Amino acid sequence: MAKVPGKYTLENSENFDEFMKTLGVGMMLRKLGTTSKPTVELSEENGVWTLKTISTMKTTELKFKLGEEVDETTMDGRDCKTVFTLEGNKLIQDQKASKGKSAKYIREFTDTHMIMTAECDGVVSKRTYKRQ
């Protein structure tokens, strides 16, 4: 099984604009989202995980424990109750929005990449990140 913690840089993105549009993200933020090449850092210490997303427009950091609900404010400003679970080499993030749309993210880890599949209302985006 591939290890999960690491640093990943966006390499390829498919259908991300359509996914963001389905979430209700405005045009300016979608434009920034589709042109930025974020770096994702995942780490774990004593059962507490940190998911840090670094981009030119914003850096976010979310701390969580597997299976425990956390409050999350997304990059596009939605307030969510989020739960992360780990199934084999997949980190699953289930966002339940208090207002607006909910989304699900599945991050699959290999020795060389993290493949993130994002889904909202049947619209799916796939983003591939290279392990650093």
Mean pLDDT of the chain, nearest integer:
95
Q: What is the pLDDT of residue 75?
A: 83
Percent of the chain topping pLDDT 70: 99
pLDDT, average across residues 87-111: 96
Q: What is the pLDDT of residue 1?
A: 63
SS3 22: helix
**Which are the contacts of 75, defined by CB distance < 8 A and separation ≥ 6?**
29, 33, 53, 58, 60
Q: Indicate the pTM of the whole model.
A: 0.94
**Distance of alpha carbon 96 from alpha carbon 93, whole angstroms:** 10
Q: What domains appear along the chain, each with residue ranges and CATH number?
A: 6-131 (2.40.128.20)
Torsion of CA 3, 5, 10, 12, to 10 degrees: 20
Structure confidence at residue 33 as a pLDDT band (50, 70, 90): confident
- pLDDT tens digits, residue range 39-86? 999 999 999 999 999 988 788 999 999 999 999 998 888 999 999 999
pLDDT, average across residues 76-101: 95
Quick one: the chain helix, strand, coil %, rounded to 5? 15, 55, 30
Element (H, E) at 39: strand 39-45
Is it the case that residue 2 has pLDDT exceeding 80?
no
Q: How far is CA 74 from the centre of its chain?
A: 9
